[in-house]
Amino acid sequence: MEYNIVILPGDGIGPEIVKEAEKILQICASAYSTTLNLKKYCAGGASIDKYGTPLTDKAFEACKKSDAILLGNIGGDKWNGLPIEKRPERVLFRLRGELGLSVNIRPIFIKPSLIRQSVLKKERLIHGIDTVFIRDVTGGELPSEKYQGVGKFGKEAFDKDYYNEKIILEAANWAFKIASQRSKKLLSADKANGLVSSALWRSIFNEKSKEFPSVKFESKLIDDTARDLVSNASDFDVVVAPNLFGDIISDELTGIVGSKGILPAATLSNSGKGMYEPNQLHNTDISIVNKNIANPIGIILSTALMFRYSLNMNDAAKKIEKSVDIVLNNGFATKDIYEEGKKLVSTIEMGDLISIELKKLLGENK
C-alpha cells in the first residue's frame, strides 16, 4: 500500500514533536511494507511569517490530495494581535471546513503510571480515566458567520451558533459507533434548556440512539457535565458535545490529566480522511520551545490514531500505544510529567525510547 501524508509542523514546539512522530511513521512503514510519502509544509504563524498567509494554496492542495495530515501545534502569543480572519488558527477552520473534517475525537486517559501527575485526589482515580471525548468542529460559533458593527449601545459583535442535521448526524454516527465498540455508554452534553441549536442536537441524538439499543445513551446539560467530569472523572466512557462546549471541556480534561502534551486527537471526515494532532494543539508556552523538553507522546499517539482511522492499520496503532505504555511504565518521563523517582528524558530521548519498544513489538510479528 502507498499513502500520502502531509506534515504541518506548525508553530512553537510543533517542529520538534513532529520529528519524533515521523520516526514512528517510518518504523511502521518499513515493518508493514507500506510506502508513506511524507511531505512537509509551513502552516500557522510560521506560514504567516514566511508567506503572509496561515496556509498557502500549495499546502492546502497537498492537504486536499493527502490521505492524512499530521499537525504539530498552532499559534502563539506572537500572532495574538492579528484580526480573527488572519490568525494562525485559520488553518484549522479552513482544513476542517473545506476538507469535510467534521468530527474531532480526543481519547482522554490517566494510566496508572500517570495517576500522581493528575490534579485530582488519588482516591478519585482508583479506576483511572479512560474516556473518548468527541465534538463536531464544523457547527456552532467557531467556524460560523460573524458580525462586527456598531449598534445602539456602541460596538457590537456576534457569532452565529449554527447547526444542521448533517453536522449533528455526523457527530452522532461517530459517537454511537465508538461507544458501541467500547463499554457501550454514551453521554451527549448540550445546553438544550437554553439554545435551539442544542434542542436540535438533542432530538437528533435521541432519534439516533434508537438504532443502537445496546448503547446506554444519556443526554445531560453541559454545565452539569463540566462539574461531573471533575468530580466523577472515572465514570465516563464516551462523551460527545457541540463544537464550542467540546473545545472547552476537552481542555478541562487535559487539565485533569495534568499535561498538555500527552493526549492525542483526530479530526475525521466521513470517508476516513483525517487530521491528527495533539489534543491541546495550541500549546503557546514559548518557554519550552527548542529546548528538547516538550512531550512528544501526544503526537506519537496521534500517529496511532492515523494508522487506525485513516490507514486501516489497527495492528500498528495498537503496537504504538503499547510501546508508549511500556516506556511510561518503565518510569521514563519528559519534564511535564516528571516527578521524583522517575527518569527524566528529553523530547528526542522519549521518541527514541518509544521507537525501540515499537521495533521490539514489531519484531515479535516476524
Q: Which residues bind ligand IPM (CB under 6 A)?
A: 74, 89, 92, 137, 142, 247, 281-282
Subset of residues 241 to 260 that bind Mg ion, contact rule: CB under 5 A: 247
Nearer to ligand IPM, 84 or 196 (CB): 84
Min dist CB 11 to ligand IPM, Å, is 11
Contacts of 45 (CB under 8 A, 6+ apart): 10, 11, 54, 74, 75, 76, 78, 79, 88
Nearer to Mg ion, 120 or 265 (CB): 265
Q: Among all residues, whose Cβ is closest to ligand IPM?
A: 89
Which of Mg ion, ligand IPM, none does residue 349 bind to, with CB < 5 to 8 Å depending on kind?
Answer: none
Min dist CB 352 to ligand IPM, Å, is 28
Subset of residues 79 to 108 that bind Mg ion, contact rule: CB under 5 A: none
Nearer to Mg ion, 209 or 225 (CB): 225
Which of Mg ion, ligand IPM, none does residue 293 bind to, with CB < 5 to 8 Å depending on kind?
Answer: none
Determine if residue 214 is left, alpha or beta; phi over 0 gives left, psi from -120 to 50 gives alpha, anything else beta: alpha
| C-beta contacts of 319-327 below 8 A and 24+ residues apart | 319/28, 319/358, 319/361, 319/362, 320/24, 320/28, 320/354, 320/358, 322/357, 322/361, 323/354, 323/355, 323/357, 323/358, 323/361, 324/297, 324/300, 324/354, 325/111, 325/113, 326/357, 327/353, 327/354, 327/357
Min dist CB 249 to Mg ion, Å, is 9
Nearer to ligand IPM, 100 or 128 (CB): 100
Nearer to ligand IPM, 139 or 351 (CB): 139
Residue ranges in contact with Mg ion by CB under 5 A: 247
